[in-house]
Amino acid sequence: MKLKTLLVVSLCALAFTAQAKTLKLTHQWPQGDGRDAGARQFVQEVQKQDPSLKFRIYPGASLISNPLKQIDALADGSIDLSIFPLIYAVGKAPEFSITILPGAISSVQDAMRFKGTDYEKRLQEVAQKQGFHILTWWWTEGGIADKVRPITTPDSVKGLKFRGADRTIDTMLKAAGASVFAMPSTELYNAMQTGVLDGLMTSYETFMSMRLYEQTKYATLGGDYTIFVVFQPLVISTKAWDALSDEQKKIFEKAADATLPSFNKEQARIKDEAVEKFKAAGVQVHAMSKDDYTAWLNLAHKTAWPEYAAISPAAKGLLDSVEAMAK
């Protein structure tokens, strides 16, 4: 009888510990960045439905100094959630390059067409093999900035040292005559300041939160056309996801969906703010024209797209799902 009582008490204690666990959420951007705000809204939405779930947010790479290492921490369960640009994981899963492939998705608005489609399902399958589950459908637009000359058609990057953010963009830039360098967003300011880079492509959010307008002279921002659109979702470790009850999983999914209207609205706002901030800093700003966009897109279709399709059957399937949406 005593043994049975002890077992019941032990099981209750274990259940309490699991329920009371504080989930660790990490990301690399300063507090106040739109992605940070999205994470905080997600937490609030979850706790409205289940106050027993606790979170601690670590912004500004304060828990994991190298943002690329977050995928390992997600896989082993040492962190629970992260805002993780999937392109940071292409070393382990090159299929993730589809989430920045130039021209595959043309804008935040365009990305909304892909939610709930075969594309999202295939992307989720790749993520699960890497030990995490995609929660939010957060897409961000961006542009180009540099210190040498205005960037218009692909020919204008010839001879420049550029950070493109992914191998697919790097392929396109190399074909245009640029040298390419790979680095996370946290290193961009110093690389521009020291001359390691002449220019870069990144999101409007990163342009602002990393104050890159302080280190550039020319920028291709704003307008209706951009070659830079990237997926930067909130993800959860498979270990943490599997530990949730079915009801809690539904709460997480509803909370993720609830963040989308405000996140997308913030992307429109930050786009306008970035243009004004660059101009105020004395940067020469122009919007990409339709002809310039078409030139970049044609180059991407000749270089980056076939290279991506050759990665694996999973990559070919993802690209097929993109092309099916265009028909």
Alpha-carbon distances of 239 from 82, 128, 130, 177, rounded to whole Å: 13, 11, 11, 44
pLDDT tens per residue across all 327 residues of the chain = 444 444 444 444 344 344 458 999 999 989 989 999 999 999 999 999 999 999 999 999 999 999 999 999 999 999 999 999 999 999 999 999 999 999 999 999 999 999 999 999 999 999 999 999 999 999 999 999 999 999 999 999 999 999 999 999 999 999 999 999 999 888 999 999 999 999 999 999 999 999 999 999 999 999 999 999 999 999 999 999 999 999 999 999 999 999 999 999 999 999 999 999 999 999 999 999 999 999 999 999 999 999 999 999 999 999 999 999 987
Please give the distance of CA 187 from its chain centroid, rounded to a whole number: 16
Instruction: Report helix, strand or coil for 36.
Output: helix
CA gap 273, 211 in Å, rounded: 12
Instruction: Report helix, strand or coil for 74.
Output: helix
Which CATH number does the domain housing residue 89 bear?
A: 3.40.190.170
Give the number of domains in the chain. 1
Considering the entire predicted model, what is its pTM?
Answer: 0.89
> What is the residue range of 74's domain?
2-326
Read off φ and ψ for residue 27, nearest 5 degrees.
-165, 170
